[in-house]
Structure 1
Amino acid sequence: MSDRYTIAVDVMGGDFGPRVTVPACVDALKRHPRLIMKLVGDRDTISPLLHKLDAELSSRLQIIHADLTVTMSDKPSQVLRNGQETSMYKALQLVSEQQASACVSAGNTGALMVLGRFILRTLPGIDRPAIISSVPTETGHCYVLDLGANVDCSAEHLLQFAIMGSVMTTAVDGVGSPTVGLLNIGQEEIKGNEQVKLASRLIAERGGLNYIGFVEGNDLYAGTADVVVCDGFVGNIALKSSEGLARMISQKLQSSFRQGLYRRLLALLAKPILGELKALMDPSRRNGASLLGLQGIVIKSHGAANRTCFGFALDQAVAEIEQDVPRRISSEIEHKLT
């Protein structure tokens, strides 16, 4: 790997666009001295946000002009047909042309997935890319995939997801033999639909993984497995339900501690503990979901990410570049499935 590496950033995507993404990119350049950024978007909007930059940082930044932006309401099929001049398309194209090692975007998830698959293609042996991200557990965190890219999955797809998730956990977290669980409605072998039962047999027989069998929803946050595999329908509902519960608990606590002087005093005493709990439950602190299985690194940031949280997505891209995650996945897929 060369001394420097490049990330292409769709700075126009997300709820806040360049006023968040551009400063986050500058922050990332300060954290990572080997990093080069290609900021893809409207030049006239981006340039004023960089006017106070020193010479060293400026030398590691390049603006790639794009006339159009993919909006959250755009249909992926329309973007695929007519989106060649959008910042998202051009950022992915830079990865395809090997002018960048990764693409980061806070834009339309469906469009990013469709364009990523069309422009970068999937790795040999991978039928479909999957969205993977971490969730907090009692012992740290675990990775869950798929989180919404594939509503309907075959048993073979779940096997591929298991291998990809295991490889990424080893690459990014340094876990030598990560435990892999298959999300189901029970741990008994007779539980679940035929697709999940077949997937369990395939993972056990062909995956060559540290497979621990079925895990249930309440195992997700217990740290039972390092990697939890499911289809995108189940994974997305589980993630959104968890985020909704976290928000409700936070709001209830805040409301309760405002009721009377005694409770306000308790809140002051409990402030450090409540801060730790908030940090643990805040999904934005784990911002940066990977689209695994593509011939290139693509990171999806939450659309509502602030400057700090968008930076987490950029850091995730750096980690995957440094560990050469796509190559490692390709090697494991070739070894285990051929």
Structure 2
Amino acid sequence: MKIAVDAMGGDDAPDVVVAGVERARDEDTRLEFLLFGDEQRVRPLIKNDERITLVPTTEEISGNEAPVQAIRRKKDASMVRAARAVKDGEADALLSLGSTGALLAAGLFIVGRIKGIDRPGLMPTLPAATNDHGFVMLDVGANADNRPVHLYQYAVMGNFYAKDVRGIDNPRVGLLNNGTEEHKGDELHQEAHKLLANAAGLNFIGNVEATGLLDGVADVVVTDGFTGNAALKAVEGTAHTLLHALKDTIMNSGVKGKLGGLLLRNEIRGVADKFDASRYGGAVLLGLQAPVVKAHGAADARTVYYTIKQVADMVDKQTIAKFVQYFEEHTMAAPDAE
């Protein structure tokens, strides 16, 4: 399988991108990479070019640029060239740490949207205290405004992904809201609840609150892009702060505290590993004709490595091909709300 990688996207690119790519390449002989980026900056970082083809590019897209204009104007940008490689069948998937808006625009206008999907959704996998597979949540920022039918489509896509990639037989689908009662929320969430409650093939468990997300209250959490982005950042920030606070408490509590930390070293490491979001890879732009995955802009080489494993898993299982076939055979119009 061949993965197109935007080497120039992200805060610490291209260093962390190349390091993550080489680690994944060394561990999986099936993987080949098309690495798009500034040759003078990327070439010296490649220790071994086995199964890595560097494609020189002359432009980059920053997070401050208008996404659609940047994609259309900068034809030789690393992200645009990588997306074009996927569109032209030269690569099976696209990975970038760059601008979310620009990647969404590249996905829509170059890779292409699956017929029947109104708006692709951005979906990360997040950790849960009660299981090892975590939960997926969408949309977390691809669309600031949504209609009820979009949330219904997110539920169907998330449910499909949870089964095919995460290996969950009957995923619990929950609608993120400000209360568990079915009448809670604004008009969007009330109408979306009605659609999901009447949808066939979904194990819809009703509304879920943000307080239960990390407890694994649902396997698929459906939300509008604005709320989802706020919830995602709150979850990531809370997990990061608590882990650092735990470490600081142990290190600053004297000999007894350090001794206790040493005795509980394996247990503490287990908690840290469970809430290490980098192990779950990046956020998938679901609804496109090929796997397009966005890793965090501040990602390190380890996160890039895990994201590549996630992408490879999607390619190996032909998840998007199954998506396309499913949505071509089934209408994505929402069920009647009663």
* Same-fold call, TM cutoff 0.5: yes
Question: Residues 63-74 of structure 1 correspond to what in structure 2 (within 5 A)?
Answer: 63-74=54-65
Structure 2 counterpart SS, 1:127: coil
Structure 1 counterpart SS, 2:214: coil
Equivalent position amino acid for 2:292 in 1? V
- 8 A Cα contact 2:117 2:332, kept in partner: no
- State whether structure 2 residue 162 is matched by structure 1 residue 180: no
Equivalent position amino acid for 2:249 in 1? S
- For residue 149 of structure 1, report the CA deviation from its aligned partner: 0.8
Which residue of 1 is the match for residue 111 of structure 2?
120
Equivalent position amino acid for 2:118 in 1? D
Which residue of 2 is the match for residue 323 of structure 1?
317
Identity %: 37
1:7 to 3, 11, 16: 3
Kindly provide the CA deviation profile for residues 116-169 of structure 1, in whole angstroms up to 9, marking residues without a partner as x.
111122111101111111111112211111111111110000011001101111
- State whether structure 2 residue 80 is matched by structure 1 residue 89: yes
Which residue of 2 is the match for residue 230 of structure 1?
223
- 8 A Cα contact 2:177 2:185, kept in partner: yes
Structure 2 counterpart SS, 1:212: strand
- State whether structure 2 residue 335 is matched by structure 1 residue 335: no
Which residue of 1 is the match for residue 12 of structure 2?
16
Kindly provide the CA deviation profile for residues 82-129 of structure 1, in whole angstroms up to 9, marking residues without a partner as x.
221100000001111111110001111111112211112211110111
- State whether structure 2 residue 38 is matched by structure 1 residue 30: no
Structure 1 moving runs of 4+ over 6 Å = none
Which residue of 2 is the match for residue 221 of structure 1?
214
1:133 to 124, 127, 134: 124
Question: Residues 256-275 of structure 1 correspond to what in structure 2 (within 5 A)?
Answer: 256-257=249-250, 258-275=252-269
Q: TM-score, normalised by structure 1?
A: 0.92
- 8 A Cα contact 2:159 2:173, kept in partner: yes
Which residue of 1 is the match for residue 336 of structure 2?
none
- For residue 215 of structure 1, report the CA deviation from its aligned partner: 1.4
Between stretches 23-32 and 165-174, larger displacement belongs to 23-32
- State whether structure 2 residue 52 is matched by structure 1 residue 61: yes
Which residue of 2 is the match for residue 76 of structure 1?
67
Structure 1 CA distance, aligned partners of 2:138 and 2:269?
28
Equivalent position amino acid for 1:80 in 2? I
Q: TM-score, normalised by structure 2?
A: 0.92
- For residue 222 of structure 1, report the CA deviation from its aligned partner: 2.1
Structure 2 CA distance, aligned partners of 1:20 and 1:221?
28
Which residue of 2 is the match for residue 299 of structure 1?
293
C-alpha spacing 1:248/1:61, structure 2 compared with 1 (3 Å): closer
Structure 2 CA distance, aligned partners of 1:319 and 1:326?
11
- For residue 180 of structure 1, report the CA deviation from its aligned partner: 1.0
- For residue 183 of structure 1, report the CA deviation from its aligned partner: 1.0
- For residue 319 of structure 1, report the CA deviation from its aligned partner: 0.9
- 8 A Cα contact 1:206 1:337, kept in partner: no
For the aligned residue pairs, the C-alpha RMSD in angstroms reads 1.7
C-alpha spacing 1:196/1:336, structure 2 compared with 1 (3 Å): same
- State whether structure 2 residue 50 is matched by structure 1 residue 48: no
1:212 to 205, 218, 227: 205
Structure 1 CA distance, aligned partners of 2:60 and 2:228?
28
Q: How many equivalent pairs are there? A: 329
Structure 2 counterpart SS, 1:299: strand
Equivalent position amino acid for 1:158 in 2? L
C-alpha spacing 1:288/1:10, structure 2 compared with 1 (3 Å): same
Structure 2 CA distance, aligned partners of 1:337 and 1:254?
48
Equivalent position amino acid for 2:83 in 1? L
- State whether structure 2 residue 269 is matched by structure 1 residue 278: no
Give the unaligned 5+ runs of structure 2: 334-338
Which residue of 2 is the match for residue 39 of structure 1?
35
Kindly provide the CA deviation profile for residues 194-224 of structure 1, in whole angstroms up to 9, marking residues without a partner as x.
2112112212323521222211112212222
2:159 to 163, 166, 170: 166
